[in-house]
Amino acid sequence: MLYYLFKYLDELGYSGTGVFNYISFRASLAGIIALIISLIAGKKLIGFLQKLQIGERIRDLGLEGQMQKKGTPTMGGIIIILGIVLPTLLFAKIDNIYVMVMLLSTVWMGIIGGIDDYIKVFKKNKEGMKATTKLIGQLALGILIAAAIDYTHSMNNIPLETNLPITKLKLNYSDLIPGDGNAYILFIPVIIIIVMAVTNAVNLTDGIDGLAAGTTAIVGAGLGILAYSTGNVKIANYLNIIYVKDSGEVVVFLAALIGACLGFLWFNGFPAQVFMGDTGSMALGGAIAAVSVIIKMELLLPVLCGIFFAESLSVILQVSYFKYTRKRYGEGKRIFLMSPLHHHYQKKGIPESKITLRFWLITVILVLATIALIKLR
C-alpha cells in the first residue's frame, strides 16, 4: 500500500519518493519490517499462548531432551504469517497477480494448518485434521494456483513451460501431451503434486528446534535470487531462462518471508520457546510451492529444497520397507533408526542443535548448487 502512496507523491514531484519504484529497496524494507514484526508479535503471542495453555503434546519416542519440550507453546506459525503478510501488503504491489497468489497460498495453507493444530490442542485429538480434508485443501489450492498463473501467463503471451536445469532447453507441457492434447491435463496435476509435496515436506522437517524455519529462510534467499533473475529481462536473457513479466514483486514477498523466519528463530532456536506447529510449516510450504511455480523453477525444487526432499523420502522409504519386510518375512525391518531423517541422527546421539546447524549448512550448499545449475545453462 505504501508503494501507491509514494508513487503518488513522486508524481507530485516530492524529492526522494521515487526510491519506492525500486524492488531492491522495497524488498529490504519488507525484510526489516518482517523481522521487527516477528520479534514484537513473538514475545506477545508466546505469553498469550502460555496463558491459554496451548502447549505441545509430546509423544515419548525415546529421544534425548524430548519430554522437556512438553507444554511448549505451539501454533507459533501465526508469528510467521503476520511477518510475511503485513510487510508484503505494505511494500509490494498488491494488485500484482503473483503477489495475490503468494499471499493466498500462505494464508490458505496457514488456515488448514491452524485448524489441524486447533484439533490437536483443544480437541485433544493427536491425529488432528483428517488426511482427506488436508488433501482436499491442498488439491483446491493447487488448482487455484495453476488457473491463476496460466491465465496471467496467457495474457502476457508467456508459454506454458518451465526451465530445465543444466540444459538450455525449456520443457513445454504441451509437448508431453500426445497429438493436440490440452497442456492443462498435465500442468494442473504437476502443480497439485508440487503443492502437496512441498507443504508435507516442510511439515515433516519441523521436528527439532529451528530446523524448518532456518532451512526455509535459506531456501527463500535462493528463491529470491532466482525470482529477481526471472523478473529482470536482461538477466533472464543472459541466463537463457524464461522471463516472467511482473514477477519481480516476488522478491518483496520472499524478503518478508526471510525476515519473518529469522524473527521466529529468535524464539524457536534451541531450546525453543515456541513451536510453529502445522500453522507455520504448512504456510511456509504453500509459499515455497507458489513461488517456484510462478518463476518457472519447479523442476529445481528437489535440489534447492534438498533437505525437505530428504526428510520426506526417509519417511516414504521407512514406511514402505517396513511394510514390505513385514509382509515378506513376517517381521518389519527399518532402514533408519527413526524417521524423519533428523530423528535418525538424534537416535545416533548427535545433539539437536548440531543436527540443525549441519542441515542449514547443507541447505546453503544446495542453494549454491541450484544457482550453479542455472548458470551452467
Element (H, E) at 158: none
93: left (phi over 0), alpha (psi -120 to 50) or beta: beta
pLDDT tens for the chain, 377 residues: list them. Answer: 776 776 667 667 777 777 878 899 999 999 999 999 999 999 888 888 777 766 556 555 556 555 556 668 888 999 999 999 999 999 999 999 999 999 999 999 999 999 999 898 887 777 788 888 888 999 999 999 988 887 887 777 777 889 888 777 788 887 777 766 667 778 888 899 999 999 999 999 998 999 999 999 999 999 999 999 999 999 999 999 999 988 999 999 999 999 999 999 999 998 889 999 999 999 999 999 999 999 999 999 999 999 999 999 999 999 999 999 998 888 889 999 999 999 999 999 999 999 999 999 999 999 999 999 887 76
- 173: cell is 507441457
Predicted structure pTM score: 0.92
- The grid coordinates listed for 330 are 513376517
Where b means 16+ CB within 10 Å and e means fewer, 123-153 reads eeeeebbeeeebeebbeebbebbbebbbebb
Please, how many CA atoms are within 13 Å of residue 314, restricted to the half-sphere of its CB?
19
Other CB atoms within a 10 A radius of the CB of residue 11 amount to 10
The cell for 373 is 545449475
Helix (H, G, I), strand (E, B) or coil at 166: coil
Q: CA-to-CA distance for 96 and 99, rounded, in angstroms?
A: 5
Angle in degrees, CA 325, 327, 332, rounded to 5 = 40
